[in-house]
């Protein structure tokens, strides 16, 4: 989705988008059910390596993309560390009560947020939205009226941004004070939304006239299938999870094997 950033096409770009989505969703649930921090740290590190060397983006772009994830890591972890329940007290300072259990649970949750974030980032950095929706139609039989509606809606975004600017200038010219919380949200949201709805209605009429709403057989401009990289993709993630699990159980960093 990063149109403005140039990137090298890697093998991850070549994998089938539907397959990639399914594998990553499965991994998402797998990560939710990992309660051993050693395993989770291994998984996060492996995903981080893949994020750095597999997505084909320059290092400075990767840094800025990663920064918010780091903040989520810190904020998720600290809340559990300071307010979680536990028995082995380390620090007690007013309402803040850090225990060994809550500390490691906090670390675990932080790494989990990191792993989940990286999964999504790897997906969105290496998948072109157009290919994703064409693949969803061809492999997962998503109805064309849904897929093309999505694609049309994404195309409307730049127009909306332009309208947002126009409204801003119009309000400025009329001397409307640029403050107020929810009333300000409304001032922008109502014209933006109503214009978008009008435009959506017009586009829908045009699309219906071109039979985009039909349920008959369609041919596709982009034919998306499977290739050798898909095998590699599945094999890599299976190996990654296995190694992370094996190493986490047999060569732990810390002696806790379940944070619950």
CB of 227 vs another protein, minimal distance in Å:
23
* Shortest separation between residue 113's beta carbon and another protein, angstroms: 7
Contact status, residue 13 vs residue 56, Cβ threshold 8 Å:
yes
Of the candidates 103, 49, 116, 97, the one whose C-alpha atom is nearest the C-alpha of residue 77 is 103
CB of 114 to another protein, least distance (A): 9
Could you tell me the smallest distance in angstroms from the CB atom of residue 174 to another protein?
18
Return the number of the residue (75 or 228) whose C-beta is nearest another protein. 75
From the CB of 147, what's the least distance to another protein, in Å?
10
> Which of 84, 248 has the CB closer to another protein?
84
Give the whole-angstrom CA distance, residue 191 versus residue 66.
Answer: 34
Torsions phi, psi for 203 (to 5 deg)? -65, -40
Comparing CB distances to another protein, the nearer of 129 and 227 is 129
C-beta closer to another protein: residue 167 or 247: 167
Interface residues with another protein (CB under 8 A) are: 1-2, 24-25, 28, 32-33, 65, 68-69, 71-72, 75-76, 79-80, 83-85, 97, 102, 105, 109, 112-113, 116-121, 123-125, 129, 145-146, 149-150, 152-154, 156-157, 160, 182, 186, 189-190, 192-194, 196-201, 203-205, 207-208, 212-215, 259-260
Of residues 10 and 213, the one with the C-beta less far from another protein? 213
> What is the chain's alpha carbon radius of gyration, rounded to the nearest angstrom?
24
Task: Work out how close the CB of 121 gets to another protein at its nearest, in angstroms, rounded to a whole number.
Answer: 5
CA distances from 165 to 3, 96, 156 (A): 20, 45, 15
Alpha carbon separation from 228 to 11, 120, 221 (Å, rounded): 10, 23, 22
Q: How far is residue 66's CA from residue 62's CA, in Å, rounded to a whole number?
A: 6
Between 136 and 244, name the residue whose CB sits nearer to another protein: 136
Burial 187-208 (b: 16+ CB within 10 A, else e): beeebbeebbeeeeeebeeebe
Of 104, 97, 101, nearest to 83 by C-alpha is: 97
- Whether the CB-CB separation of 36 and 248 falls below 8 Å is answered with yes
Rank residues 7 and 160 by Cβ distance to another protein and give the closer one.
160
What letters, b where the CB count within 10 A reaches 16 and e where it falls short, cover 51-82?
beebbbbeeeebeebbeebeeebeebbeebbb
Q: Give least dist CB 73 to another protein, A.
A: 10
């Amino acid at each position: 989705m990063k149109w403005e950033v140039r990137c090298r096409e890697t093998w991850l770009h070549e994998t089938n988008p539907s397959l990639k989505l399914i594998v990553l969703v499965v991994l998402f649930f797998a990560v939710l059910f990992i309660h051993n921090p050693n395993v989770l740290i291994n998984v996060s590190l492996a995903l981080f390596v893949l994020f750095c060397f597999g997505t084909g983006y320059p290092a400075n772009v990767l840094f800025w993309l990663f920064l918010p994830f780091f903040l989520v890591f810190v904020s998720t972890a600290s809340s559990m560390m300071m307010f979680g329940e536990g028995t082995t007290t380390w620090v007690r300072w007013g309402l803040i009560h850090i225990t060994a259990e809550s500390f490691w649970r906090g670390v675990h949750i932080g790494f989990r947020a990191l792993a989940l974030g990286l999964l999504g980032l790897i997906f969105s950095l290496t998948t072109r939205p157009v290919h994703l929706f064409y693949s969803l139609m061809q492999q997962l039989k998503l109805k064309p009226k849904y897929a093309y509606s999505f694609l049309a809606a994404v195309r409307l975004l730049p127009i909306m941004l332009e309208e947002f600017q126009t409204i801003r200038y119009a309000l400025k010219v009329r001397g409307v004070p640029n403050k107020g919380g929810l009333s300000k949200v409304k001032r922008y949201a109502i014209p933006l939304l109503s214009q978008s709805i009008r435009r959506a209605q017009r586009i829908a009429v045009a699309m219906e006239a071109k039979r985009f709403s039909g349920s008959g057989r369609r041919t596709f401009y982009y034919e998306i299938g499977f290739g050798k990289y898909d095998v590699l993709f599945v094999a890599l993630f299976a190996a990654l999870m296995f190694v992370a699990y094996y190493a986490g159980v047999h060569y732990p960093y810390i002696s806790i094997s379940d944070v619950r």
